[in-house]
Structure 1
Amino acid sequence: MLQAGFIILTLIVSVLLLLALSRITQSAIPDEAGRKKFLLITGVAMAAWLVYVGALSIKGVFLVTTFPPRVPLLLVLPLFAFTGLFFGSGRFKNIITQTPASWPVYFQAFRIAVELLLLMGFKAGIVPREGTFDGYNFDIVIGLAAPLVGYLAFRKEMNRPLLLLYNISGLATLATVVFIFMSTAYAPAIWHKPQGIANLGFGLFPYTYLAGYLMPVAVFMHGFSLVKRKRQQRATAQ
């Protein structure tokens, strides 16, 4: 049930991303041939990444908890590099411009499902209590707040202070969660635990989609929202 939950959530998030991108590119890429090519490349790239993460996980690559840490090097850093490239390159300017500013906020609601799966993982004995909302992980609050913030921040004019507070808070909670999972995996003694979570199975397929896909998607959405906010603020000031 837990494994199926991670797989299903990963697929749902992927489908929603592609559906949203399909809608956005209708105005961002007017040329039909160019639009179809862009969507095809994006879909293939997403599928290739998920296969890459799954293959390494099945081989047990992430069960090794010696330094250098493999999860950040092989999963997190490549996606963060893509995030920086996306926002720093002018090639995706139209995508950002044509995306409704509320969408990245509403999308964060998927984190509710993530937190419920983590709680199930704790009950199954492969996730530390500290990594759930029964411990020190308050990320579910960000997910629960997403619909409300999405509505209030864009009810009339953009509520920039609320949007900034939400995104900074969301990134802060993610940073806390990353620290919890990294420390319980590579330095379990900090939490007075005999072994890391990777040795309990959380370094296996499909649980690695948390660090290798779902968490970076949440970071990407926060970055998207902040960049969109800044660009709209500049446009208003001109």
Structure 2
Amino acid sequence: MIDNLPTYISLTFGLTTIVTLLLFTWTIRNSKSEQTQKKTMPIFIGLTIWLSIQAVLTLKNIYNSETNTFPPKIILTGILPTILTIILLFVTSKGRQFIDSLPLKNLTYLNIVRIPVELILFWLFLNKAIPELMTFEGRNFDILAGITAPIIAYFGLTKTKLSRHTILIWNFICLGLLLNIVLNALFSAPSPIQKFAFEQPNIAILNFPFSWLPTFIVPIVLLGHLTSIRQLLKPKY
């Protein structure tokens, strides 16, 4: 836990994490495949267990102790498993069947969670838990993805006023915004790979509940963009 951090910041982030979980569950439940729909509850339980594991690791100060180890502990036991899971979904036939059945509209609406995330990051900066470069006053413009997501979802996928090409470009741009903040966050966190923000490092992601950002929320958003891009690149019959 971060000392002297206002309680409302942690509570708001915890709520944002729950909303992310529910939105992803909603996306699976609305799949066009009955087989995928049946996986809703097992996936929900699995993700809840994953969140619990990450909570235990941070509450026991596993991530914010001995930060000079390589690779950083949060990458090894928090981020790498999620990346491997995403890769597995794309390289296996059952994984591709799963992601291809997810509704594009729901995946797009999922990006709304990036709005509260960016507000929370700004609050964390004001409380000296992350550097300014991780906020919209610095190098982070990820909030634009959250603001435009409902517009793209409604006009592009409900009203079909936008072309698939336009939606594809939006996904690529928002994916770039996501990768930008991910790299800035990793390289500003206390570790052997830290490159900047030494005067005010990114200590938030090493503490509860904010470790859920790189170990859960970011992977879910990343999966959403990669899945959307795959679906949009496929020929439409």
Q: Name the TM-score class by shorter chain.
A: 0.7 to 0.9
Q: Name the TM-score, length of structure 1 as normaliser.
A: 0.85
Report the Cα offset of residue 89 of structure 1: 2.3
Query: Contact 2:100/2:227 (CA < 8 Å) preserved in 1?
Result: no
**Counterpart position of 2:4:** none
Query: Contact 2:29/2:40 (CA < 8 Å) preserved in 1?
Result: yes
Query: RMSD of the TM alignment (CA)?
Result: 2.2
* Aligned CA distance change for structure 1 residues 166 and 35 (closer, same or farther; 3 Å): closer
Q: Name the TM-score, length of structure 2 as normaliser.
A: 0.85
Report the Cα offset of residue 158 of structure 1: 6.5
Provide runs of 4+ in structure 1 moved above 6 Å. Answer: none
* Aligned CA distance change for structure 1 residues 165 and 220 (closer, same or farther; 3 Å): same
- Aligned equivalent of 2:221, options 196, 199, 218: 218
| C-alpha separation in 2, matches of 1:157 and 1:194 | 47
**Counterpart position of 1:160:** 164
| C-alpha separation in 2, matches of 1:165 and 1:230 | 11
- Aligned equivalent of 1:174, options 166, 174, 178: 178
Aligned residue pair count: 225
Structure 1: stretches of 5+ with no match in the other structure: none
Structure 2: stretches of 5+ with no match in the other structure: 1-7
- Aligned equivalent of 1:16, options 15, 20, 23: 23
Report the Cα offset of residue 65 of structure 1: 2.3
Question: Deviation string for 1:154-200 (max 9, x for gaps)?
Answer: 33376232122211111211121112111211355633x346322xx
Output aligned runs, 1:74-153, within 5 Å: 74-153=77-156
2:147 alignment partner AA: L
| C-alpha separation in 1, matches of 2:18 and 2:175 | 23
The structure whose residues are more often helix, as a share, is 1
Output aligned runs, 1:11-90, within 5 Å: 11-24=18-31, 27-29=32-34, 36=38, 38-63=39-64, 64-66=66-68, 67-90=70-93
Tell me the SS of whatever aligns to 2:120.
Answer: helix
